[in-house]
């Protein structure tokens, strides 16, 4: 019985700490807009990749707000999207994904503004639509996990490629150094032979020199 209670408690705790969407606000078009928000314990890149891929599978490619002086820079705009998991109606989905804080890169916050004809529609959604919208964000977690894994695989592959390049470079450098060492060793052997030859020549020259000196007439 205790084991069952412990198991249920563990499941409850796990569920409570999993990502859950909530209502919040974010600035867009110079106005604090009501929005749905959710925090994921994953890098913003993984969340962004997962969202873009999911909506791409549904046939939607968003427009990204750009520009140095654009205060809405980074928002993904999906105009007139029909997301069956949320509603049977078409809405404009404005999504912003950012790092939750500057202390960690492995925590992202996603904001989703739902609009229709330039009007914020969050408060006008039915209870069912609002619940489904939150669930849509909650259920994005497995896709994010997959995207995060792919990013890690790409990063690991990059490290392998870089390490392989360094290894090949070191191998080439060693081969070059060994060739230089062999050349130096050959030169050393040749130098020793030349020294022996020059040593004999020097001895002969010294003998000849001494013989010539010995032939000088002695001064009286």
- Full set of structural domains in the chain with CATH: 18-141 (3.30.310)
More confidently predicted of 2 and 159: 159
The candidate with the shortest Cα–Cα distance to 132, out of 144, 114, 148, 119, is 114
- Predicted pLDDT at 217: 82
Distance CA 112, CA 137 (A): 9
- Predicted pLDDT at 220: 64
Is the pLDDT score of 185 beyond 70?
Answer: yes
- Least-confidence region, from 63-72, 111-120, 140-149, 192-201: 63-72
Is the pLDDT score of 150 beyond 80?
Answer: yes
Average the pLDDT over 93-111 and give the result. 90
More confidently predicted of 5 and 56: 56
- Predicted pLDDT at 3: 55
Is the pLDDT score of 13 beyond 60?
Answer: no
Is the pLDDT score of 127 beyond 50?
Answer: yes
DSSP 29: T
Spell out the alpha helix ranges (H) of the chain.
2-17, 44-57, 127-138, 141-214
- Predicted pLDDT at 218: 77
On average, the pLDDT of the chain sits at 90
Sign of CA dihedral 25, 27, 33, 36: negative
In the numeric block, which tokens belong to residue 50? 């997962």
In the numeric block, which tokens belong to residue 4? 């069952």
pLDDT (tens digit per residue) in 64-84: 888 777 888 889 999 999 999
- Predicted pLDDT at 2: 58
- Least-confidence region, from 13-27, 82-96, 138-152: 13-27
- Predicted pLDDT at 104: 80
Query: In a 3-state reduction of DSSP, which class is residue 180?
Result: helix
Question: Is the pTM here over 0.75, yes or no?
Answer: no
- Predicted pLDDT at 15: 39
Model confidence band, residue 16 (pLDDT cutoffs 50, 70, 90): very low
Model confidence band, residue 12 (pLDDT cutoffs 50, 70, 90): very low
């Amino acid at each position: 019985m205790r084991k069952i209670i412990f198991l249920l408690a563990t499941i409850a705790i796990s569920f409570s700490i999993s990502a859950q969407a909530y209502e919040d606000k974010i600035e867009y078009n110079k106005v604090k807009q009501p929005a749905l928000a959710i925090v994921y314990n994953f890098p913003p890149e993984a969340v962004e990749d997962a969202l873009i891929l999911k909506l791409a599978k549904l046939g939607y490619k968003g427009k990204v707000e750009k520009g140095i002086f654009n205060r809405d820079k980074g928002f993904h705009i999906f105009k007139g999207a029909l997301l069956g998991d949320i509603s049977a109606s078409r809405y404009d989905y404005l999504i912003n994904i950012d790092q939750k804080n500057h202390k960690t890169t492995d925590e992202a916050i996603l904001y989703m503004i739902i609009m229709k004809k330039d009007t914020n529609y969050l408060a006008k959604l039915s209870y069912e639509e609002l619940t489904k919208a939150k669930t849509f964000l909650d259920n994005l977690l497995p896709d994010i996990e997959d995207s995060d894994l792919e990013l890690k695989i790409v990063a690991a592959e990059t490290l392998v490629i870089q390490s392989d390049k360094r290894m090949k470079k070191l191998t080439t450098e060693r081969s070059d150094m060994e060739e230089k060492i062999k050349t130096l060793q050959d030169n050393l052997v040749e130098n020793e032979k030349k020294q022996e030859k020059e040593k004999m020549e020097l001895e002969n020259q010294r003998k000849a020199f001494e013989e010539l000196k010995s032939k000088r007439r002695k001064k009286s």
